[in-house]
Chain A
Amino acid sequence: MMSAMTATYEDALALARRSVTDIRYPVVKTYTLDPIWVLYDRVLRIDPRRPDDPARDRFLLSKGHGPSAYYAVLAAKGFFPEEWLDSIADVDSRLGSHPDATLVPGAEISAGSLGHGLPLGVGLALGLRAKGYDSQVYVLVGDAELDEGSNHEAIAYAGATGLPNLHVIAADNGSASHGWPGGIESRFTVNGWTGSTVDSADHDALYASLTEPHPDGPRVTVAVSTATPHA
């Protein structure tokens, strides 16, 4: 049993491999591990002992399919016992193939249907600002999830109104059927977001982009998965 304080990326990767939840996505199941790990390990102001602190940062896994990496990081960081990973998707398990926020300690939203996390994140960012918190809201979407039009409603609005406490991580494993000619980042920056595109295996580059100040509007980090997927 590892300590949540000392858990490493390798520990999280091992936990993710331990929790093969979704046989439909056996290869890509952990491609989101890099950005989620960097967020929980180095960026987010969240204390697993006080997961309901209203002033905490928020991470919204919009792309709820294949949540092995997410569950692994939450377990590694001590939100719930790692033993829970061994019974994923059992009838009595709190962990399913799509996360349910009312069942998973540390999960901010229930996900599964694509295209809900970013509009929820916009409202959450508005609400936290209205309440006077400087909390940051990070939303992870997949490149294929961006096909859903609801994302583009949110991207346009958040850019036009300059929501500075919103940050999107677009995990790009090249799975969008029709691709994004001109690049994913441009979909955001044309709407007034700042952004950068990084190799998701480069954790320092991820960290730099995720912590780059963006006082005048929202920011996107496109995390491109180029390495051999975690099998």
Chain B
Amino acid sequence: MRNPLSQKVVGLQPSGIRKFFDLVSEMEDAISLGVGEPDFDTPWHIREEGIYSLEKGRTFYTSNAGLKELKEEISKYLHRHCQVQYQPKDEIMVTVGGSEAIDLALRAMLDPGDEVLLPMPSYVSYLPCVILSDGVPVEIELKEEDQFKLTKEALLAKITPKTKVLVMPFPNNPTGAIMTREDLQEIVEVVIEKDLYVISDEIYSELTYGGQHVSIASFSGMRERTVLINGFSKSFAMTGWRMGYAAAPVLILEQMLKIHQFAIMCAPTTSQYAAVEALRNGEEDVASMREAYDQRRRFLIHELRRIGFEVFEPFGAFYVFPSIKKFGMTSNEFATRLLEEEKVAVVPGTAFGACGEGFLRISYAYSIDSLKIALERIEKFISRLS
């Protein structure tokens, strides 16, 4: 019998997070700080709108790109928050989570051999999606001394004649790093000079603390070379609804839409109606969740430092990325021992790329009281090490 499998797919490394997850799920009564999704329920008025759409029998396909009124709300939202204008008609599409949009953008833009720059550590799906699109992933190592920001020098060092796309994953999972207007300015100059395209994954944009999120698409000359990706999962606590979107110039978006049309048809209809409500009446929910995250962020950083971790202060997403280098263990050893000895699950930094070695990702999508219990256990663990 012939081998039924594609060598390209077989060759993909399974997510590092997967292996650790299997370990965690075998451990009974473990408490976890390993989750990458909000602990809040979707605000009730948004859920209610989903229920209402079902009651009304709105159970059919929508057009491929999504409901007209949703695209219009997304357009207004992007204008309000990112100062960029996108035509609802042909520059915005609704996707099944931000993840689908990442996949579509890469598939629509890459030819075999095109190089894609990936700042690392980063979300686990960029690299495999590049490979599946026959692109060549080129990692850019982000450094703690740069607060895990992408710098002009690091970017320039990796650009070759084959470089086509730069993925911009900020606010960043797992580091919590953000890029300010000044930080972005020097990246924009390089991107334009070297004629690159940008896929900007801004899924955590609403979770920016102590300042406003800045979209790279808002810089002069960048709108035409950017695919802006965002969604509802993190900002409105809607992970299970699978609602994301992409905004891009027609030239790129119509090709993304073609793939989406054949592979997905359309994003779930119920979720789209709920998403319209989220954008129309959900700003206050976002603000109050952001405030809660910010309180936990301060609390967690303070406590981790008190216990003896070296922590760079993140201003985005809901993760801290403390260094464990001084404890003389690998990330994986540390996380495994912490799990086995104190039953606390955190994610080893290496799950997000080899350069995550020496770090842990700790999520603060947990109540302060849950954080307290976990921190007590972590403190016990640390005190035994020294």
Decide whether A and B are members of one complex.
no
Q: Contact residues of B with A, CB < 8 Å?
A: none
